[in-house]
Structure formats: C-alpha cells, structure tokens
C-alpha cells in the first residue's frame, strides 16, 4: 500500500497569502455596524429631545428602528463573514425579485471588485439536457471561471450549476496538452450554494495568490452544487431515502463530467474533496465512502454525526448508521490510504474537540491527518476562508507525491 505522504504536515505559507485570506472585506468591518448603531442612537436621542413634536417623533422612531436593524444585520455579517463586498451583496439581492433584484443589479454594476470580471452569474444559460460548460467571462492571464451544468434527474437533481475555477494559462494554446489535479468544494447547509466558495470563501482569489507565490502547482477548483434545487433543505450531501441521491450525484455524475469537459488527472491521487460545516460533513462522509475516487479530504468546521439533521433520513436506521462517520470509522476497511486536513477556529471549542476526535479515530486506522487551527476564529465563513489556503496547499502536497496519472 503506497503512502500519500511520508508524513502529513501543516503547510507553512507566506504572509502575502495568509493576510489576503484573513483580511475582512469592506462589508465585514465592525466599524460598519458600530457606525449604524451610533447613528441609530443619535437619531433616538434627537427623537427624545423632540418628543413634543408628533411628526418628528414618528419619523425619529421609525428611523432609529431601521438603523438599529441595519446595525444588527451588519453585526451578524461581521461575525459570520458571508457578505464581504458590495458585489457579494448584489449577488445576494439578485436572488430576490422586484426592487431587491434591481438593487442587486445596480450594486454589481457599480462594483470595483476584481472578482466581478470573472463572475459566473453573468453568463448566459446553457442549452440542452446534457452537461454543458460555459464561460462566465473571457479567460485571461489570471484564469477564468466557468459553469458546468450537470443535470441528473435519475438521482433527483433537475440541474446543478457547478462553478469551475480554472488556473492561469489553462486556455493558453501552449498548455493544450497539460492536465491538472482537481479540488472539489462543497457549500454549507441550509441556504448555502455553489457560489458561496467564490464569494464568502474567496476561492478564486486564494488560488491566484497561492499560484503567484509559487506555493502550489496549477490546479482546478470545482465548487459543486449539492442543493438538489432546494437550498433551504439541509440535505447534508446524503443519499436521501425517497429523495435526492446527492452522494451518488457527486461521485458518479459531477466528477465524470468534470473529467470529460476539462483536462484533469482522472485518478484519486489527483482529486481532493472538501467543504465547510455541512459541506465538510459531506466531504468527510462521501470521501470515506469513495476512497477509490478521492485521495485527499479537506474538512473545515468539521462534525462527524448528523445530530439535528438526522431527520432528513426519515428514521432509516441503516442509513443513519451508514452516514455517521463517528460510528463507522473504527471498523471500516481502508484498502487505500487517505490524507485528511481538518481546519477549525479556536473560538469554537466544540469544533476543536470534534476535529481532534476525528483525527484520532483516523490515525488509529493508519491514516494521515493534520488539524489546523486559526486563533480566535469561530464556526463561520471567516474560518473557512482563512484556512482555504492551507487546505489547497495540503492538497498540493498530496498531488505532487501521487503516482503518475492517466
């Protein structure tokens, strides 16, 4: 049995890479919610001073309530790190209709976010019923993003828009014979989606910063769509009895479609599967079920038990047991070794304890595991984004040592 690494190690990265991943976007700054809270307080104070004037009192109360609500929303976002830039906010608003959609379009039209130049959502719809890749924007020296639509009605997925982040030079004629390893990333649940790794997760920028710093060799990132067209449902990437078969969809539909449409190394040694929170659970569970397809797992904000999400399996005890890594890791066969990185924030002690429990369980079975902790971070997108460079560098370590691929 070939080891993926002599010993799994936590990569050491240059500050230029780590600072880019840890920096707060303009809409994440705590100064934003503090400013709104201060404005709300000031308006309230003026309203109290002018309480004898009915119109001033009415408008003042309404204004202060509105400002306090905005302060609360921006405070939550500052903690979670979901909306980083005006462009991200525009994408979020565009999910709505009417005035919200118009406001989102205007926000994105005035954005100076560099990521906007390769935004997948600006692309037209693909046609036909078969998987089709379409460019989101013209490719350039910094790479490009494309959308790969993979419908699979047989497994309960009407369509799935998977976002493919290509490395710099992929479309250069001089690279026409070059093949690339692939990292698959899964969004969180519920209300998560494949765009999240491009916005909240900053995957395109992180890939570019790692390549610019010569930390990693060029790779492809695929942000997969495991929403089954119902992002409000907490599917946990499962094969749901009587519902969508998301594990099978990923392993048997998305991966072969990516290998078909892109120049990949189509073997386990050059594939990594990762995700954050619910997507991290899915990556762990699916990866352990499919050792023949994935040689590296990248799990951010980990857990190994379905807990409150167990209801999606409808009380099917066999399905619950088969999808609880905490139960099956101690006895499952490992015909092939796997390398695993688990990333957490020290501000989430439950995540830290869970990561070390998973690591210990896998290490006792002879697998290579690293736990990476970001000081002060919590169970949020801040942690996922800050640790993504380490996960990609860890994957690169394994890709470099994998046997020559087909």
Predicted confidence (pLDDT) per residue in 172-198, tens digit: 999 999 999 999 999 999 989 999 999
Q: Is the pLDDT of residue 5 over 90?
A: no
Task: State residue 115's pLDDT score.
Answer: 45
Look at residues 343, 328, 339 and name the one whose alpha carbon lies nearest to residue 373.
343
Residue 110 reports pLDDT greater than 80: no
- For 66-91, write each residue's pLDDT tens digit: 887 887 887 777 777 777 777 777 76
Distance between CA atoms of residues 102 and 96, nearest Å: 9
Find out whether 2 and 403 touch, Cβ atoms under 8 Å: yes
Can you spell out the DSSP letters for 129-185?
A: SS-EEEESS--BTTBEEEEEE--BGGGTBS--EEEEEEPTTTT-GGGTT--B-EEEE
Strand, helix or coil at 344? strand
CB contact set of 379 (below 8 Å; sequence gap of 6+): 277, 301, 345, 348, 350, 351
The reported pLDDT for the residue numbered 245 is 97
SS3 289: helix
Residue 167 CB neighbours (<10 A): 21
The whole-model pTM stands at: 0.86
């Amino acid at each position: 049995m070939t080891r993926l690494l002599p010993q799994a190690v936590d990569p050491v990265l240059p500050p230029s890479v780590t600072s880019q991943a840890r920096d707060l976007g303009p809409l994440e700054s705590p100064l934003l919610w503090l400013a709104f809270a201060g404005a709300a307080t000031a308006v309230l104070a003026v309203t109290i001073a002018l309480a004898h004037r009915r119109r001033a009192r009415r408008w003042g109360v309404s204004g202060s309530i509105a400002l306090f609500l905005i302060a609360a929303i921006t405070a939550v976002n500052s903690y979670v790190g979901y909306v980083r830039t005006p462009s991200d906010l525009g994408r979020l608003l565009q999910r709505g209709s009417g005035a919200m959609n118009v406001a989102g379009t205007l926000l994105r039209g005035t954005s100076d976010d560099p990521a906007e130049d390769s935004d997948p959502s600006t692309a037209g719809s693909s046609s036909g019923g078969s998987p089709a890749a379409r460019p989101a924007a013209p490719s350039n020296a910094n790479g490009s993003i494309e959308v790969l639509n993979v419908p699979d009605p047989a497994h309960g997925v009407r369509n799935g828009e998977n976002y493919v982040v290509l490395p710099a030079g992929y479309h250069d004629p001089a690279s026409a014979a070059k093949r690339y390893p692939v990292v698959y990333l899964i969004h969180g649940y519920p209300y998560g989606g494949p765009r999240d790794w491009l916005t909240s997760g900053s995957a395109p920028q992180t890939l570019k910063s790692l390549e610019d710093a010569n930390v990693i060799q060029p790779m492809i990132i695929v942000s997969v769509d495991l929403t089954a067209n119902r992002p409000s449902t907490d599917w946990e990437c499962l094969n749901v009895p009587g519902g969508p078969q998301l594990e099978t969809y990923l392993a048997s539909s998305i991966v072969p479609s990516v290998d078909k449409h892109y120049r990949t190394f189509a073997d386990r040694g050059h594939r990594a599967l990762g995700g954050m929170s619910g997507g991290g659970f899915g990556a762990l569970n699916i990866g352990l079920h499919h050792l023949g397809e994935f040689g590296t797992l990248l799990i951010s904000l980990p857990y190994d038990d379905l807990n409150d999400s167990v209801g999606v399996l409808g009380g099917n005890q066999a399905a619950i047991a088969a999808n609880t890594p905490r139960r099956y890791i101690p006895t499952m066969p490992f015909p092939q070794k796997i390398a695993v990185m688990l990333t957490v924030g020290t501000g989430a002690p439950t995540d830290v304890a869970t990561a070390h429990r998973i690591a210990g369980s896998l290490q006792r079975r002879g697998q290579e595991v690293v736990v990476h902790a970001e000081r002060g971070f919590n169970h949020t997108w801040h942690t996922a984004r800050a640790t993504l460079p380490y996960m990609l560098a860890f994957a690169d370590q394994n890709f470099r040592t994998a046997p020559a691929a087909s």
